[in-house]
Amino acid sequence: MMNLLKDNRGGQIFLALLAVLTIFIPILNLGMPETSPFHVSTYTVTLLGKYLAFALLALSVDLVWGYMGILSLGHGAFFALGGYAMGMYLMLQIGDRGVYGNPDLPDFMVFLNWPEIPWFWNGFDNFWFAMIMVALVPGLLAFIFGALAFRSRVTGVYLSIMTQALTYALLLAFFRNEMGFGGNNGLTDFKDILGFSLQADSTRIGLFIASAIALALGYLSCRTIVVSRLGRVAVAIRDTEDRVRFIGYRVDKVKLAIFTFSAVLAGIAGALYVPQVGIINPGEFSPLRSIELVVWVAIGGRTTLYGAVLGAFIVNYSKTYLTGVAPETWLFALGALFVLVTLYLPNGIVGLLKRKGEEA
């Protein structure tokens, strides 16, 4: 572990901050009376928890984009699939407390006159089965898609457009009521997770801590990959793919391994996101969402991992702030960020800080 953080100031600072956050936020939320100026509201805790899930998602994008040169415009799809797997578990925990009070069927199925629960919902009432699916479903999709794409050497913008088409196709599919995932409305109205009520402050804190731990582990595992031989080959592929292939490496296998791992990370991020926001719907598949998260990475600074985390926090905080204060300016701001960062900040904020540091 020390090895991973040696010569990695940014990573050290990031993990230290994350640890401080994880220890003090719960204390400030549960320990302080609500009147105290140091009290952190549950709303803020949930918001931070959401950002942590986004940060994990940004990590997964940075891993494939920063270190392997694959600009995926479809990572939102893996995130959403993980989210849906979690949502299905949460949906089945509602039991007979739904609007229709049907103990076997979720509300939307009663509403659509489904006679029984479809086969692919089987097993999702078990938490651990659902957790396996959270990783397995996005991983499997990435594996199949990647195996096809990398073997036939679809690269660059073609690959980007294909990933976009993938998430677009899933978006259309999940909008259909016949798919059995709640159609347009998605899955919502969750009650509890593992027996703990989702409305309780302690559960929120628990989810926040879980997200923080997942992010820390995600960061360390990405770091492990990056410093390993596999990671070095990946960087070499990013820089000159053909040369790596001629040297004798199986480029497609390296890509496939890292791409699949990244999709699993994105799926886990989705699973952490859903119980905190309380809804998952097909909107998460929209191509816009996937491109947006590429910007998080670009703004934070790619090929640093912690830069992606920084970007996710900054962009999402601005989004929360701007859509609250002046909603019509948000798209202007986001659009301008895209243009300015690509033109003037190719290495993102981290790059800017590093340059400042070297000058000083």
Partner 1 sequence: MISLSLLFSSSSFAETTNSESFIQALVQLQSKSYKDKGKAIEQLVTTKDERVQSILEAMLKARLFYTKEDKVTVIGKKHPDGFSLKSVLNQKDLGVLSKSKLKKIKVNNKLRGILRAKIASLSLSSPNANVRLKAVKQMFGKTDKAIITALKIHLEDEKDSDVKNKIEVLLRINDLNSSDKVVQLSAIKALRNDLNPETRNKLEILKDSPDAEIASASKGALENIKKKLGFYENVNTAFFGLSLGSVLVLAAIGLAITFGVMGVINMAHGELIMLGAYTTYVIQQIMPNHIGLSLLVAVPAAFIVSGSVGILIERLVIRHLYGRPLETLLATFGISLILQQAVRSIFSPLNRAVETPAWMAGSLEINPALALTYNRLYILLFCLAVFAFLFLIIKKTSLGLSVQAVSQNRSMARAMGIRASRVDALTFGLGSGIAGIAGVALSQLTNVGPNLGQDYIIDSFMVVVFGGVGNLWGTLISGFTLGIANKFMEPWAGAVLAKILVLVFIILFIQKRPRGLFPQKGRAAES
- Which residues are at the interface with partner 1 (CB under 8 A)? 71, 145, 148-149, 151-154, 156-158, 160-162, 164-166, 168-169, 172-173, 175-176, 287-288, 291, 294-295, 298, 328, 331-332, 334-339, 341-343, 346
Strand partners, 279: 188
Nearest distance from residue 104's CB to partner 1, in Å?
Answer: 28
Of 180 and 275, the one with the shorter C-beta distance to partner 1 is 180
Helix axes 9-26, 201-227, angle to 10 degrees: 170
Nearest distance from residue 233's CB to partner 1, in Å?
Answer: 21
Nearest distance from residue 356's CB to partner 1, in Å?
Answer: 23
Nearest distance from residue 294's CB to partner 1, in Å?
Answer: 7
**Locate tokens 């994990």: which residue?**
56
**Locate tokens 């457009």: which residue?**
161
H or E segment and range at residue 188: strand 187-188
Please state, as a whole number, how many other Cβ atoms lie within 10 Å of the Cβ of residue 225: 18
Of 17 and 288, the one with the shorter C-beta distance to partner 1 is 288
Of 271 and 294, the one with the shorter C-beta distance to partner 1 is 294
Nearest distance from residue 84's CB to partner 1, in Å?
Answer: 17
| Both structure tokens of 207 | 């989810």
Nearest distance from residue 276's CB to partner 1, in Å?
Answer: 26
Of 16 and 288, the one with the shorter C-beta distance to partner 1 is 288
Q: Considering only CA atoms, which of 133, 125, 134 is closest in space to residue 103?
A: 125
- Return d(Cα 167, Cα 246) in angstroms, integer: 33
Of 7 and 328, the one with the shorter C-beta distance to partner 1 is 328
φ, ψ at 152 (rounded to 5°): -90, 15
Of 244 and 341, the one with the shorter C-beta distance to partner 1 is 341
